[in-house]
Structure 1
Amino acid sequence: MSFNIGLSGLYAANKQLDVTGNNIANVATTGFKSSRAEFADAYSASKLGVGSKTVGNGVTLAAVSQQFGQGDVNNTGNVLDMGIQGQGFFVLSDNGSLSYTRAGAFQTNKDNYVVTADGIRLQGYAADSTGKIAKGVLTDLKIDTSALAPKSTTLIDQGINLNSSASPIPLTKPDPSNPAATIPNAPFNPTDESTYTKSFPTKVYDSQGNEHVMEQYYRKTDTNEWTMYTLVDGRNPYDPASATPLTGTMSFNSDGSIKAMSTSAAGVPTTPPGQYEFSVANNTFTMKGWIPAVYNKTTNTWGPNGSSGNPDGMRLSMNSTTSYNTETARMSQSQDGYATGILSSLSIDSTGVMFASFSNQQSRAIGQVAIASFANEQGLEQMGGTRWKETFASGIPGIDAPTTGTLGAIKSNALEASNVNLTNELVELIKAQSNYQANAKTISTQSTIMQTIIQMT
């Protein structure tokens, strides 16, 4: 019996050496989780239980348990390298078969899917064309490298202050020959700065993503009254052959807020009915049906460029426009149009949302990484390749976006290192070796005793 006890000790020490050696071998493996050999003593027993004077039968290997402690997350500089700070696993799909990993070294394949080094696809949530994440259904994450389609300008929102103390440039002046009468003052001329107070250019885009410049000229015509002249590329927005601007007027209350706004019908086509419009409502000018223009160098003339503006109109919100006693200036501006964009960079935030940035200064979400958690991580089945599979013991995975509930956060440009503590493992190696030698000694001693007994007979 003593031989069997010693043999079980040798077996246990050998398993401890195997586990420790495997940990040491994987000290540099990304996302590796160390293992621990767990042992239990063995006793022989009958139906009535174990006697009070029973000697043990040795030791048995109870389990080799994974230690899912956090490994160091170190920067790599590769945007598709991801580490999980906290609880959770990346979800991978191999033709529909799901597995789970902490190793976040990803890349793209020839079809632009995000995959591991051996081609298994990372799972997450897709985004629609507007960048809205559609949570609920897992899909293969893909980096869409196609061009971002252009968007015509529909709304311009700018905050302008028109100096209430600026010198007026009246539309009329006294008639020198008849002081009781008036005659037209110098008409607006975009090339003559004396005919307006200030101008503000704004980039706008047509339906093909072509850039145009909408120039607005502000002329203070009386106390708390201003006239706005609008040209696009220096031309009438409805007639590229004409340089006659669209005209709008604004009056202000004594506190500097807008009192009233109006437009002139001059320069706005009337046919076909409803197609063209320059109107104002809710402190917003609407220029409907504008015709983007292009200059023909051969004929030295202006004409349509073949694209169109937004059919619903390009709106200019003046809700932030004021008239205070300070410099005439544009304090803020935004417009919602843009040209065609080419993918220029990718970033991933802590919630796993993948943002694509384009050459037209636009950015949008193109997907979100999903991570999974288990009620019993120890119940996961190891597959190799630093991956695990779900089992009955682990329970079903809870899959959601990073930072949801107890799920950890994503750190991009970084990888989680192995959680193996090399110093501890080397100490365990020494202990396992000592255990092996001690158990071998018990067998050697038992052998000596047996020889003594045999010699006595």
Structure 2
Amino acid sequence: MGFATALSGLKAASTSLQVTGNNIANSQTTGFKESRAEFADVYASSIGGVSKTQPGSGVKVTEVAQQFNQGNIESTQNSLDLAVSGNGFFVLADTVNLPDKNNPNAPVDPSVPSAYTRNGAFQLDSSGNVVNDKGQYLLAFAANGTTAAEGFSVGVFRPLTIDTAQGLPNATENINMKLNINAAAAVPPTAAFDPTDPLSYNNTTSVTTYDIQGNAHIASTYYVKTATANEWDAYLFLDDFGITTGGPAVPPGGAPPSTVVTPVNTPGTPMKLAFTSTGVLDTVNAVPATKVDFGAIDLSDIDPNISVDPMAFDLDFFGTTQFATPFSVNGLDQDGLPAGNLTGIDVDATGVVFARYSNGGSKALGQVALARFPSNQALAKLGDTSWATTSTSGAPIFGAAGDNNFGGIQSSALEGSNVDLSEQLVKLIIAQQAYQANSQTITTEKTLIQTILNA
């Protein structure tokens, strides 16, 4: 019986050595989780139960349990390297459903997860899909639009694909001007306004706007103080053509068509800016609002060489004042964009992946999917630092980084192995001693048997 007990001890010590050696071997493996050999004592069963004097039958390995504590996060230079700080696994799929290139608008069935990993070393395949070194696809939640504000369909999996096509241009829809118009300015000496005559206006501003094809158009506004107290005329020109608004302040898409006044440098009907006696903007075109809407500007009247949908935008003077200080532009921007090329990929802490374009625009491509489980240790080990669900691990709970007990995602970083080499070397010594002690038990047992046989 002593031989069997010692043999079980040898097997247990050998398993401990194998587990420790595996930990040491994977001390530099990205996303690796160390294992721990767990043992239990063995007693021979009988109807009467285990007696108080029964010595036991040895030891057995009950489990080689992986420890899912956090590994160190190290920075890299690759924006597609991702690390989870906290709870959660990246979701992988061996095969995915991709859009039909001949019919890109056709519905695509969601992809099915097949494995889960903490190894965030991802790269692009030849089709622009984000994959790991085994060619498995990183799954993401489908974007509801082109911006993060439009949200994502959690649970609807799509392969994360980097769109390398040109960034689409955006037509200008809003121009925001925050100015201070000098209350002490005099009425211009030239009565008839002419954009080519600086003596006929007080000040001017310009901003580049874009049509739906990305063609640039210079929107210039001229400000003329009138003889009426606290009132100014503001003339809008687009590429030196005067523009007259088509109607009252309504959403630009629904505003009546605006008029392009020809020939070039011919002013249209001015906007009327009226200020209170305290210098605050009161009305625009006699309406208590700050916006003027220009709808359906026919660009063919400006440039007959282009054929493009009409422009429609609003001009907002919110925050404009009339104080006795020099004319100043405190804010001037518009929301249009020209066409652009892909310049980079950004991933934020919630896993939202943005394509960044040379035109200054960005597009939300998806949100990296994460999964967590009721029991991480019950996951099936697949190798290649990946795991699969089992009946005892519980069904995966999917979500986004930072939500519902999920950790955050760090881009351009990888989670290293959580193996502590110093600790493993100590365990190696202990396992070696246990192996030697069990070997000594066998040697002693052999000596006793020989003594009995030779008696």
Range into which the TM-score falls when normalised by the shorter chain: 0.7 to 0.9
Please tell me whether the aligned partners of residues 100 and 388 of structure 1 are also in contact (alpha carbons under 8 angstroms): yes
Instruction: Name the SS for the 1:138 alignment partner.
Output: strand
Deviates more, 1:186-195 or 1:431-440: 186-195
Letter in 1 for 2:344: S
Q: Which residue of 2 aligns with 1:166?
A: 185
d(CA) in 1 for partners of 2:267 and 2:76? 56
Q: Which residue of 1 aligns with 2:75?
A: 75
d(CA) in 2 for partners of 1:51 and 1:284? 93
Instruction: Name the SS for the 2:453 alignment partner.
Output: helix
Please tell me whether the aligned partners of residues 128 and 366 of structure 1 are also in contact (alpha carbons under 8 angstroms): no
Q: Which residue of 2 aligns with 1:195?
A: 200
d(CA) in 2 for partners of 1:261 and 1:104? 55
d(CA) in 1 for partners of 2:348 and 2:451? 74
In the alignment, structure 2 segments of 5+ residues that lack a partner are: 96-111, 244-259
d(CA) in 1 for partners of 2:262 and 2:59? 94
Letter in 2 for 1:151: N
Q: Which residue of 1 aligns with 2:12?
A: 12
Letter in 2 for 1:235: F
TM-score, normalization by structure 2: 0.88
Q: Which residue of 1 aligns with 2:115?
A: 99
Deviates more, 1:70-79 or 1:218-227: 218-227
Q: Which residue of 2 aligns with 1:353?
A: 352
Deviates more, 1:389-398 or 1:153-162: 153-162
Please tell me whether the aligned partners of residues 19 and 37 of structure 1 are also in contact (alpha carbons under 8 angstroms): yes
Please tell me whether the aligned partners of residues 145 and 151 of structure 2 are also in contact (alpha carbons under 8 angstroms): no
d(CA) in 2 for partners of 1:146 and 1:128? 19
What is the RMSD of the two structures over their aligned residues, measured on CA atoms? Answer: 1.9
Matched, 1:243 2:265: yes
Aligned residue runs from structure 1 range 271-290, under 5 A: 282-290=289-297
Residue deviations 1:371-419 (CA, integer Å, cap 9, x gap): 1111111100100110001001111111100111221110110000000
* Shift in Å, 1:149: 2.0
Please tell me whether the aligned partners of residues 372 and 396 of structure 2 are also in contact (alpha carbons under 8 angstroms): yes
Q: Which residue of 2 aligns with 1:66?
A: 66
Instruction: Name the SS for the 1:50 alignment partner.
Output: coil
* Shift in Å, 1:85: 0.6
Given the alignment, which residue of 128, 136, 149 partners 2:168?
A: 149
d(CA) in 2 for partners of 1:207 and 1:9? 77
Runs of 4+ in 1 over 6 A off after TM superposition: none
Q: Which residue of 2 aligns with 1:217?
A: 222
Q: Which residue of 1 aligns with 2:308?
A: 307
Given the alignment, which residue of 142, 167, 180 partners 1:126?
A: 142
d(CA) in 2 for partners of 1:214 and 1:390? 59
* Shift in Å, 1:204: 1.0
d(CA) in 1 for partners of 2:29 and 2:69? 15
Instruction: Name the SS for the 1:150 alignment partner.
Output: coil
Q: Which residue of 2 aligns with 1:175?
A: none
* Shift in Å, 1:240: 5.5
Letter in 1 for 2:32: F
Q: Which residue of 1 aligns with 2:285?
A: 262
* Shift in Å, 1:97: 4.8
Q: Who wins on radius of gyration, i.e. which is larger?
A: 1
Instruction: Name the SS for the 2:423 alignment partner.
Output: helix
d(CA) in 2 for partners of 1:386 and 1:257? 64
d(CA) in 2 for partners of 1:257 and 1:82? 50
Letter in 1 for 2:450: Q
Q: 1:59 to 1:42 in 2, by over 3 A?
A: same
Letter in 1 for 2:266: T
Please tell me whether the aligned partners of residues 92 and 101 of structure 1 are also in contact (alpha carbons under 8 angstroms): yes
Residue deviations 1:46-103 (CA, integer Å, cap 9, x gap): 1221111111111111111101111000001110101111111111111235211100
Letter in 2 for 1:290: I
Q: Which residue of 1 aligns with 2:333?
A: 334
d(CA) in 2 for partners of 1:191 and 1:362? 35
* Shift in Å, 1:293: 6.0
Q: Which residue of 2 aligns with 1:417?
A: 416
Matched, 1:207 2:230: no
d(CA) in 1 for partners of 2:369 and 2:80? 14
* Shift in Å, 1:309: 2.6
d(CA) in 2 for partners of 1:240 and 1:146? 38
Identity of aligned residues (%): 40
* Shift in Å, 1:281: 7.8
* Shift in Å, 1:209: 1.0
d(CA) in 2 for partners of 1:404 and 1:35? 28
d(CA) in 2 for partners of 1:14 and 1:191? 93
d(CA) in 2 for partners of 1:325 and 1:48? 104
d(CA) in 2 for partners of 1:289 and 1:9? 87
